[in-house]
Structure 1
Amino acid sequence: MVRVLFLGGLGRSGTTLMERLLGQLPGVCPLGEVVHLWQRDLRHDERCGCGDRFSECGFWQKVGVEAFGGWENIDPDRLSTLAASTERTRHIPRLAFGPKPKGLAEYSGYYSKVYRAAAAVSGAQVVVDSSKHSALAYCLRHIEDIDLRVIHVVRDSRGVAYSWTKKVPRPESDTDEQMTRYTPARSALLWNGHNASFSLLGRLGVKVRRVRYEELLTDPKATLRSLARFAGLEESATELSFLRAEGEGYVADLGPGHSAAGNPMRFTIGSVPLRRDEAWRRSLPVRQRRIVGALTAPLLASYGYPLAGRTA
């Protein structure tokens, strides 16, 4: 049985940084956002986190052979059809309480094969999927041959809302394509929905550990040691030699990885300062900040975020 760490939450909450840090631990194989593998990689042959095209990445080609006898045996159109009928937010009530959507077993089976193949190819104890989608996590809970553990990554909703307004290019694309953008009100509603879904997932018996982005940046060593224990890694995995104190914070020395899709940070190699991104405090208009705060106030309070003043 392969152990899977699923990083969940709304995008722009720090999941890519979390994955990159976890990926430096011995025995951990980060896979990126596997949910996008079928279209962005198989169909469009975008670049892996290592810099190579998916079709030229030795790691992913070995995974394809191990899992399916080669990626040519996978039909991306079939995956799109299955995703539409199973892995959507509107299907979460059925995924949680039944009856299960038709095609769930087939759709989830593709992920199971990828996880098991990646563990076999890498020799890792744990594989990390940073897909984030709450509906996918609900699909994965029905797979019997994986040990699913979810890290629910939360960030202050106002910081998330501001991040979704920014123009961020997708460097893996051959065009001038940019990442999706949302209005602050739209991102606030998505923030509520995704985070509430992960809270419910924990009550359904899935192992869920909530981590705040701000805590990760304040004390990355303590956070990663706690998550290594949650993942069931050996004690030697918590040496954390890739993290070093510098000034009032930390710097992480990141090596290359094979993230199939995700935030552009997956291409970053070398020394990365770990600092809170709180540009929203000066750049998100006050009116928009208040709207987001009002829409997300109940969950903000439950996660320990003050509605005014500095983030804890």
Structure 2
Amino acid sequence: MTDAQPVIFVGGLGRSGTTLLERLLGEFPGAVPLGEVVHLWARGVHADEPCGCGETFSRCPFWGKVGDLAFGRWKASEADRLLRLRARVDRTRHVPFLAFGRVRRVAELDEYVSAYASVYAAAAEVADGDWMIDSSKHASLAYCLAVAEATRARLRVVHVVRDPRAVAASWRSDVRRPEDGRPMARWAPGRTAVHWLVQNLAFELLRRRGVPVIRVRYEDLLGRPAETLRELAAELRVARARDALLFLDDQEALLGVAHTVSGNPMRFVVGRVRFSAPRAALPFVHRLLVTALTWPLLLRYGYRLAPRPEALG
């Protein structure tokens, strides 16, 4: 991989619109959306879950070629090794040490990140792409990529935020995984609020470390998608992206097939998608709790303490 092929890391708490943003960015010329690469080892190599193209991971021609180029082939033993390394270096509790330059287990961190660098480089070659998109979300992985020599020079982070009351409502909803029909995780509003605060604070600290971090609000992406994407592409300085918006207008987007290894159910959607937020009710007492726990960043990101009901859709 050369310096002309940046890695765009899309981060933020789940249910904040990271998959939507990746799918939209993935329609730009030269973009190679990969999904949540952090889950490649467990959900792809081990569980053989479907790629965004609909084929299982082991039968997807794109990922087959990536594995051959990056590692000779996908191996369960290699996946086990990466999962063990992840448990040691890629954890939210390590973020404060990484944020203040106190890197622990440097050799293991470099070994862990080198696998991601190999995946990115192989995907760029297989797809003949100009820039990779990894929507792994987790701030801890963003820090690992920012610290390790293999990726830090080409890393650019897009930090996606959404009103925490809407995020909490989404985490309370019953959503089924298209991969196997099982319910996705559900969190109580208080837990969601704490995770929202921790993840977003981590990305704020990452920006203070000098890492290129661009914030995008989910509500802006839905309300003015073309303008938001045009501004984001200009800030990211990605090749050939600034005027490539023929696939969308302010009402809907036309999405093609994407070889995304893991993520929100939207990664399987192909065709026209309208820009409308799913609505889920959050009882008043829960809205009050989430607001009380998150209000400093909530205000920083331009949200109201007492939002209009339609703003929480």
- Code of the residue aligned with 1:251 in structure 2: it is E
Match for residue 83 of structure 2 among 80, 84, 98: 80
The runs of at least 4 consecutive aligned structure 1 residues that moved more than 6 Å come to: none
CA distance in 1, matches of 2:77, 2:120: 15
CA distance in 2, matches of 1:72, 1:144: 25
Match for residue 6 of structure 2 among 3, 6, 10: 3
CA distance in 1, matches of 2:54, 2:255: 14
- Match of residue 37 from structure 2: 34
- Match of residue 190 from structure 1: 195
CA distance in 1, matches of 2:287, 2:77: 44
- Match of residue 292 from structure 2: 294
Range with bigger deviation, 3-12 or 228-237: 228-237
- Code of the residue aligned with 2:159 in structure 1: it is H
- Match of residue 68 from structure 2: 65
Match for residue 13 of structure 1 among 2, 11, 16: 16
Match for residue 169 of structure 1 among 165, 176, 180: 176
Q: TM-score, normalised by structure 1?
A: 0.94
CA distance in 2, matches of 1:62, 1:221: 33
CA distance in 2, matches of 1:100, 1:144: 13
CA distance in 2, matches of 1:235, 1:223: 16
- Code of the residue aligned with 1:304 in structure 2: it is G
How far residue 241 of structure 1 moved from its aligned partner, in angstroms, is: 0.8
Q: How does 1:265-276 map to 2 (within 5 A)?
A: 265-276=266-277
Q: TM-score, normalised by structure 2?
A: 0.93
How far residue 172 of structure 1 moved from its aligned partner, in angstroms, is: 1.2
How far residue 81 of structure 1 moved from its aligned partner, in angstroms, is: 1.2
Would the aligned equivalents of 1:112 and 1:143 in 2 still touch at CA under 8 Å?
no
Residue by residue, what CA displacement relative to the aligned partner does 1:155-208 show, whole Å, maximum 9, x if unpaired? 0000000100111111112xx422111000000000000000000000101000
CA distance in 2, matches of 1:204, 1:177: 39
Range with bigger deviation, 77-86 or 254-263: 77-86
- Match of residue 44 from structure 1: 47
Would the aligned equivalents of 2:113 and 2:150 in 1 still touch at CA under 8 Å?
no
Would the aligned equivalents of 2:110 and 2:149 in 1 still touch at CA under 8 Å?
no
How far residue 213 of structure 1 moved from its aligned partner, in angstroms, is: 0.2
- Match of residue 219 from structure 1: 224
Residues matched between the structures, number: 303
- Code of the residue aligned with 2:214 in structure 1: it is R
- Match of residue 203 from structure 1: 208
- Code of the residue aligned with 2:271 in structure 1: it is G
- Code of the residue aligned with 1:288 in structure 2: it is H
CA distance in 1, matches of 2:202, 2:136: 15
- Code of the residue aligned with 1:258 in structure 2: it is H
CA distance in 2, matches of 1:112, 1:172: 27
- Match of residue 113 from structure 2: 108
- Code of the residue aligned with 1:209 in structure 2: it is I
- Code of the residue aligned with 2:249 in structure 1: it is R
CA distance in 1, matches of 2:139, 2:98: 11
Residue by residue, what CA displacement relative to the aligned partner does 1:246-296 show, whole Å, maximum 9, x if unpaired? xxxx1101111000000000000111001233x24xx11000111001111
1:239 partnered with 2:283: no
Would the aligned equivalents of 1:228 and 1:238 in 2 still touch at CA under 8 Å?
no
Would the aligned equivalents of 1:224 and 1:238 in 2 still touch at CA under 8 Å?
no
CA distance in 2, matches of 1:241, 1:127: 21
- Code of the residue aligned with 1:164 in structure 2: it is W
- Match of residue 253 from structure 1: 254
- Match of residue 163 from structure 2: 156
1:140 partnered with 2:141: no
- Code of the residue aligned with 1:84 in structure 2: it is A
Gaps of 5+ in 2: none
How far residue 135 of structure 1 moved from its aligned partner, in angstroms, is: 0.3
CA distance in 2, matches of 1:145, 1:104: 11
Q: Percent identity?
A: 52
Gaps of 5+ in 1: none
- Code of the residue aligned with 2:301 in structure 1: it is Y
CA distance 1:36–1:73, change in 2 (3 Å): closer
How far residue 101 of structure 1 moved from its aligned partner, in angstroms, is: 2.5
Would the aligned equivalents of 1:14 and 1:155 in 2 still touch at CA under 8 Å?
yes
CA distance in 1, matches of 2:71, 2:50: 21
Would the aligned equivalents of 2:168 and 2:188 in 1 still touch at CA under 8 Å?
yes
Would the aligned equivalents of 1:126 and 1:231 in 2 still touch at CA under 8 Å?
no
